Amino acid sequence: MKLTPEATATRAGSSRKNLRHRDALPDLSRFLTAEQHRIHLVGVAGSGMSGLAGLLIELGHSVSGSDKVTTTETERLQRLGLRFHEQHLAEHADAAELIVFSSAIKEDNPILLTARNCGKPLFRRAEAVAAIMRSKRGIVIAGMHGKTTTSAMAAHVLREGGLHPSHYVGAEIPILGTNAFWNQRGEYFVAEGDESDGTLRFFHPEHALILNIEEEHLDFYSDLAAIEKVFAQLIDQTSGTVLYNVDDPNTARLCGKRKRAISYGFSEHADYRGSDVELRNFGSSFLVSRRGEKLGEAILNVPGEHNVHNALGVIALASELSIPFDKIAASLRKFEHARRRFEIKYASDRFLLVDDYAHHPTEIRATLRTAKSIGRRRLVTMFQPHRFSRTKALCREFGTAFNDADRVVITDVYPASEPPIPGITGRSIVDEIVQRSHRGVTYQPHLQSVHRDVGNMLEAGDLILSLGAGNIHEQLEILAADLVIAERLKAIVGEEGDVRLYEPLSNHTTLRVGGPAQFWVEPRTERAFAELIRFCRNEHLPLFVIGRGSNLLVRDGGIRGVVVHPHGGDFEKIEVDGCEITAGAGVKLRQVAYAARAANLGGLEWMEGIPGTVGGGLRMNAGAMGAQTFEKVIRIRYLDPEGNSHVKNRGELEVFYRRFPLLEKNFAVSATFCGEPAERAQIDSRLRESQEKRRTTQPVAKSAGCIFKNPATIPAGKLVDELGLKNSRVGNARVSRVHGNFIVNDGNATSSEVLELIDDIKSVARKKRGIELETEVEIVGEPE
C-alpha cells in the first residue's frame, strides 16, 4: 500500500475518513507492520508517544518526531534513528507519509494544520497502537488505576513464560528494558489501554484485562455512564476472553454478563481467587485458587494490597494462556516496579523517600495505606494536583484522601495542557482537607519550594512520599540528593549535634529576615567543627558560619551550602582563670560581661550591650560605648581552612575598625579576654550605664544593630537623622524612629525590602552630603 500526499489529496477527505474508520484499520495495520514508510510523531517526548516511536523504528520505518521538550527518552530514540526536532515546524513533517499525534497536542499545532490542509493521513496515538496490535494476538490492560504496573507485570510474566510478547506500556519499566518493545518472534502483544480520551474504542484485542472503573477524567467524560460506554465497546470488540476484577462493583456489573468472562479477586465468587494475604514491608504473600482448586502461594516484591489485586489479574491471564502456576509465581516474585510506582528514591534506617504517580483520590488512599503499613514513625506527603478539571471535579474526595498522612504539603495544579479554571488551585484541596479537621496540611504555591518545606519538617523515622502525575517527583529527587549530604553531615556531628535541611535563616537572625540554609549544622565539639571544614573542602561545598545572626542580612534566596552554627558543647564553655576569661565561639558577649562581673572583673561591661556571640564579635571586631572587642582580647583559638587548630596572641593579629581579616577565611573556636579586678558596685554601675544607653538610644524592635559603619566625619545615625530619613520605609522595613542607624522589621519584612531601603539611604547621603556610607552588617546569600 502506498499513501503518497498527492494520492490522499486527490481523494480529498474521504481517504482520511476511510483510514480513520474502523473498517480501514486492517489497512493501517498493514501500513504500519508489513511495510516501511516515513512517519512523523507530533509530541514524541510523551511517555506513550516515545513508546510508539520505539515500536515504529523497530518495525523498520523512517521515523521523525517533534516536541517542545527533550527527554532522556528522546535522546535514547535519537540514538536508535529518530530524527528529533525540538519545535513543531510544518516543514519537519513535509516528507512524512503519515502523521501520528498525541492527545496533548492542540488543534492549532502547525504540523497538524498543514497536514490537514494537504489531506495527509493523521492518526491518534491509540489508533496507531491498536493497528499495530492487530498484526498480533492483542491483550489490552484497561482500567482507571494500576494499568502501567499490571501491563508491565503481564508482559514480564508472559516473557518469562516463554511467549516472547511484544509490549507497549505507559512508563519506563526497568525490568522490561523499555516502555515498548517489538518482538518478531512472539504472537502476543500486551498493551496498556488509555481510557482518558476515549481512544480505548480503537482496540480490537483478543483478550482484555479490566482492572477497575470509576469516575475519572471528567474533563473528557460527562459522567460514569459515558466512561462505562467506552469500556462496554472495548469488551464488545474483544474476540476472546475478558478477565475482570470482580471486587470492583462497576467492573463486575459491566463484565459479569459477558459470555467469555473470567473473574479474579478476593470474592468467594471469583474464578481466580486470592486469600490469606499478608502484607509486609515492600511486598506481600497470598494464596491463589482456581474455582476451588488450590494453585499455590504467590509472593510479590512490590508493596500494597492493590498490587495483590493486579497480580491476581495477571495470574488469571497467564493461566488462561497455559503458563503453569509455578512459572507464573516465580516470575511474579522477580517483578520490580515501574518508574514512579512506589519507587524508592532513598532508604536508610532514619528516612525513606518514595515517589508514586498516584493522582486520583482512590490511588492516593491506596498508596498512603501501603506507605503506612511499612511502619515508619510518620508519613510526610507532598502532593501536586494534576489537571484543573480533576481538581475541581474530585475536590471533596481529595479532602479525605490524605487521612493516613501525618503531614501534607500541597502545591499548585499541574495543568497538563489545560487552561486554568478560575478559583481552582492547590488551595482548593487544602481547604477541603482543613475542613475535615486534618491539622497537618499546608499550601505551597511554588513547586520549586516544596522540597524545602518538606525537608525542613523532617524528623528521623519519617517516610516521605511525593504524589502526583506531573513533575512533583523532581522535588523529591532534589530532597533525596540533599538528604544524602545531610546524613553525611549528621554522621560528622554525631548524636549530640544537629543537622537540618533548608532551615529558614529568618529564625536565626535578629532582623528576622532571610531565606533558608541548604544545610544547617550545629556541631558541639571542636573536633566535629574541624571535620565539617574538611568535608566541605573535599566536597566543594561552600561553608558559612553564623553566630547569633545579629549583624547579618541574609538575602531572601538563602545560603547555598553548609551553614555552621557552633552552639552548645565546647562552644558554650566559659572559664575564668585569674583575670582571664576564656569563652567558646557560641557564648553570647553579654554572658562574658556577666561572667566577668561574677568574678569581680571589670572592663568588659560594654559587652552587655552587644547582641552577638564571641565568634561574631571577633569577626566584626564589634564595639559599643567607645570600646571594641580586640581591646580586650589576649588570644584566640581558631581553625584554618584545612581544619587544623591554631592559637594566636593579640600581638600577632591584624585588626581594624569593625573588621578582622583573619576570620574571613578561618573559623573562631574561642577567645580569651582580660578583665581588671574591680569593685562589684563599680561594675554594676557601668553595666547600668550601658543598659541605660541602649534603652534610651536604641530601638527594641527586631533589627540587625547598626546598619552602617560610622564615617570619619559624622556618626551614621546622626547623618541619617539629619537627612530626615528616620521612619522612612520600603514595605515592612523601616528606619527606626529612635536611632537613624537602625533598620527595624515591622513584621514579615523581606530582605529585598531592607536592601532597597539601605540603597535609598546611601543614595540620599551621597547626593546631599557627598558621603559614601559603607554597610557594617554583613550581607550574604542569594537573591530569591
Q: Which is nearer to ligand EPU, 171 or 622 (CB)?
A: 622
Q: Cβ atoms within 10 A of the Cβ of 192, count? A: 26
CB of 351 to ligand EPU, least distance (A): 40
Q: Of the ranges 49-57, 199-207, 487-495, 705-713, which one interacts with ligand EPU (CB under 6 A)?
A: 705-713
**Does 671 sit near ligand EPU (CB under 6 A)?**
no
Of 301, 276, 300, 304, the closest CA to residue 404 belongs to 304
**Does 740 sit near ligand EPU (CB under 6 A)?**
yes
Instruction: Tell which positions 561-580 bind ligand EPU, by CB under 6 A.
Output: none
Which residues, listed in sequence order, are joined to residue 354 by a DSSP beta bridge? 344, 465
The count of residues interacting with ligand EPU (CB under 6 A) is 20
Q: In 413-463, which ranges are continuous DSSP H helix?
A: 426-435, 450-456
**Does 706 sit near ligand EPU (CB under 6 A)?**
yes
Which residues, listed in sequence order, are joined to residue 499 by a DSSP beta bridge? 521
Selecting among 8, 33, 74, 148, the annotated active-site residue is 148
**Does 625 sit near ligand EPU (CB under 6 A)?**
yes
Q: Cβ atoms within 10 A of the Cβ of 333, count? A: 13
**Inter-residue contact 358 to 366 (CB < 8 Å):** yes
**Inter-residue contact 617 to 589 (CB < 8 Å):** yes
**Minimal CB distance residue for ligand EPU:** 705
CB of 720 to ligand EPU, least distance (A): 6
**Does 531 sit near ligand EPU (CB under 6 A)?**
no
HSE, CB side, 13 Å, CA atoms: give it for residue 635.
Answer: 7
Burial 397-435 (b: 16+ CB within 10 A, else e): bbbebbebbbbbbbbbbbebebeebeebbbebbbebbee
CA distance 479 to 286: 35
CB of 508 to ligand EPU, least distance (A): 17
Show the binding pattern over residues 178-217: x = contacts ligand EPU (CB under 6 A), - = does not: ----------------------------------------
Of 525, 161, 694, 419, the closest CA to residue 153 belongs to 161
CB of 632 to ligand EPU, least distance (A): 15
Q: Which is nearer to ligand EPU, 86 or 692 (CB)?
A: 692
Cell, residue 533:
571544614
Residue with cell 488512599: 365
Tell me whether residue 320 is one of the annotated catalytic residues.
Answer: no
What region does 545 belong to: left with phi over 0, alpha with psi -120 to 50, or beta?
A: beta
CB of 551 to ligand EPU, least distance (A): 6
CB of 510 to ligand EPU, least distance (A): 10
CA distance 59 to 68: 25
**Does 659 sit near ligand EPU (CB under 6 A)?**
no
Q: H or E segment at 315?
A: helix 305-320
Selecting among 136, 147, 490, 632, the annotated active-site residue is 147
Among 717, 733, 761, 773, binds ligand EPU (CB under 6 A): 717
CA distance 700 to 723: 23
**Does 385 sit near ligand EPU (CB under 6 A)?**
no
Among 327, 648, 718, 762, binds ligand EPU (CB under 6 A): 718
CA distance 279 to 526: 47
Q: Cβ atoms within 10 A of the Cβ of 331, count? A: 20
**Inter-residue contact 190 to 356 (CB < 8 Å):** no
**Does 608 sit near ligand EPU (CB under 6 A)?**
no
**Does 619 sit near ligand EPU (CB under 6 A)?**
no
Q: Of the ranges 53-61, 296-304, 451-459, 621-629, which one interacts with ligand EPU (CB under 6 A)?
A: 621-629
Among 741, 745, 750, 751, binds ligand EPU (CB under 6 A): 741
**Does 30 sit near ligand EPU (CB under 6 A)?**
no
Burial 544-580 (b: 16+ CB within 10 A, else e): bbbbbbbbbbbbbebbbbbbbbbbbbbbbebebeeee
Q: Which is nearer to ligand EPU, 619 or 739 (CB)?
A: 739
CB of 716 to ligand EPU, least distance (A): 6
**Does 624 sit near ligand EPU (CB under 6 A)?**
yes
Among 739, 750, 758, 771, binds ligand EPU (CB under 6 A): 739
CA distance 23 to 438: 54
Q: Which is nearer to ligand EPU, 246 or 620 (CB)?
A: 620
Cα distances from 405 to residues 378, 440, 552, in angstroms, run 8, 8, 38
Of 20, 38, 32, the closest CA to residue 92 belongs to 38
Of 618, 620, 611, 622, the closest CA to residue 633 belongs to 618
CA distance 541 to 444: 28
**Does 689 sit near ligand EPU (CB under 6 A)?**
no
Among 20, 715, 762, 779, binds ligand EPU (CB under 6 A): 715
Q: Which is nearer to ligand EPU, 216 or 776 (CB)?
A: 776
What is the rounded (10 degree) CA torsion for 580, 582, 587, 589? 30
Selecting among 58, 160, 192, 195, the annotated active-site residue is 192
Tell me whether residue 753 is one of the annotated catalytic residues.
Answer: no
**Inter-residue contact 766 to 734 (CB < 8 Å):** no
Cell, residue 695:
534603652
Q: Of the ranges 73-81, 158-166, 337-345, 706-714, which one interacts with ligand EPU (CB under 6 A)?
A: 706-714
**Does 776 sit near ligand EPU (CB under 6 A)?**
yes
Q: Which is nearer to ligand EPU, 298 or 546 (CB)?
A: 546
Among 566, 609, 615, 781, binds ligand EPU (CB under 6 A): 609
Q: Which is nearer to ligand EPU, 463 or 719 (CB)?
A: 719
CB of 596 to ligand EPU, least distance (A): 18
Q: Which is nearer to ligand EPU, 361 or 623 (CB)?
A: 623
**Does 547 sit near ligand EPU (CB under 6 A)?**
no
Length of the chain: 784
Among 348, 697, 727, 748, binds ligand EPU (CB under 6 A): 697
Q: Which is nearer to ligand EPU, 464 or 704 (CB)?
A: 704
CB of 734 to ligand EPU, least distance (A): 13
CB of 727 to ligand EPU, least distance (A): 11
Cα distances from 70 to residues 46, 49, 64, 84, 317, in angstroms, run 10, 13, 14, 9, 37
Q: Of the ranges 87-95, 97-105, 518-526, 703-711, which one interacts with ligand EPU (CB under 6 A)?
A: 703-711
Q: Of the ranges 207-215, 295-303, 314-322, 714-722, which one interacts with ligand EPU (CB under 6 A)?
A: 714-722
Q: Which is nearer to ligand EPU, 538 or 696 (CB)?
A: 696
Tell me whether residue 147 is one of the annotated catalytic residues.
Answer: yes
Cβ-based burial of 451 (10 A; exposed 0-12, middle 13-18, buried ≥19): buried
Q: Which is nearer to ligand EPU, 258 or 709 (CB)?
A: 709
**Does 705 sit near ligand EPU (CB under 6 A)?**
yes
**Does 616 sit near ligand EPU (CB under 6 A)?**
no
Q: Which is nearer to ligand EPU, 572 or 778 (CB)?
A: 778
CA distance 423 to 198: 28
CA distance 208 to 141: 6
Q: Of the ranges 93-101, 129-137, 509-517, 711-719, which one interacts with ligand EPU (CB under 6 A)?
A: 711-719
Chain contacts with ligand EPU (rule: CB under 6 A): 551, 609, 622-625, 693, 697, 705-706, 709-710, 715, 717-718, 721, 739-741, 776
Active-site residue list: 147-148, 192
